[in-house]
A = this chain, B = another copy of it.
Amino acid sequence: MNEQILNYAGAPTKFIEVEGIRYAYRSLGKQSDIPIVCLQHFTGTLDNWDPIVINGLAKERRVITIDNRGIGNSDGVTPDNVQDMTRDAIKIITALGVSKCDLLGFSLGGFIAQNIAVERPDLLRKIILVGTAPQGTKALYSFPKLVEKAAQLNNPMESYLFMFATKSEKSRAKLGATLRRLMERKRDRDKETSIPAIQEQVKALTRWGTDPVTVKLSEIRQPVLIIQGSNDEMMNSASSLELFNQITNAVLSYSPDAAHGSFFQYPEMFVEQANFFLNTFE
């Protein structure tokens, strides 16, 4: 692996096979003992990470982005529940030869990160949870309705802004800039996530809200950084305060006039917070 790549745009898509399934991933960044593994949001692929975020992390550590089962260029059938997605993510991480890592879990990826933290604490050093919520969050009941609304807009930019920005011009402009950054990579792009895979993800997300709580956050002993915007309708911004209250050693940061895509709206601030947290916080 060429660890000298510091720019996400220059990180080629690679593949690793586990139990007969081929998974797509990218790896870049400064050589570090502990890499950070990035777990993506609903529908998102390797191409949905803001390069400012990935490059900012990669300056100080190895960064690995993965497509979970059935997402983007990864083969297999996407599971309809977070528990199976968790198992797949653990398999990929282990297959990549990683015995201890940090996690960045965004939204659905944050559900998986919480789950890994409880099921395989030995695998984790520190955890960053962005725009996510604990199991049993009622706001998720209306997730299918939000997805339907976004689809009805029938305009990729407007759907993106609907999911990630607030209604303010400032927030919309910032997330518009994010979306343009996501499109800068021209070659070796990931496949868009298929409709069937998206349908399974919707089930998994909704179930995270309705299932009985099995993921006991009070068991998490790792330092956790929780990042959220003031107005995340999808997860309910208050969910991050619940995460903070339940996790023993967590830092919580809210940013203003920001919705589900808060860390893409303030990517430089996120990089600053994340690198300090990963380098220094105990």
B-binding residues in A (CB < 8 A): 230, 241, 244-245, 247-257, 268-269, 272-273, 276, 280-281
Contacts and interface: CB of A to CB of B under 8 A. Distances in A.
Number of identical protomers: 2
B257 A254 contact: no
B276 A280 contact: no
Contacts of A245: 230
Contacts of A255: 251
Given A230-B244, A244-B230, A273-B273, A280 B253 contact: no
Q: A-side binding surface: helix, strand, loop or mixed? A: mixed
B268 A272 contact: no
Given A268-B280, A269-B276, A269-B280, A251 B249 contact: no
Contact of A253 (B247, B248, B252, B268): B252
A168 to B, nearest CB: 10
A91 to B, nearest CB: 31
Contacts of A272: 272, 276
20 contacts: A230-B244, A230-B245, A241-B241, A244-B254, A244-B256, A247-B256, A249-B257, A251-B253, A251-B254, A251-B255, A251-B269, A252-B252, A252-B253, A252-B254, A253-B253, A269-B276, A269-B280, A269-B281, A272-B272, A272-B276
Nearest to A275: B272
B256 A248 contact: yes
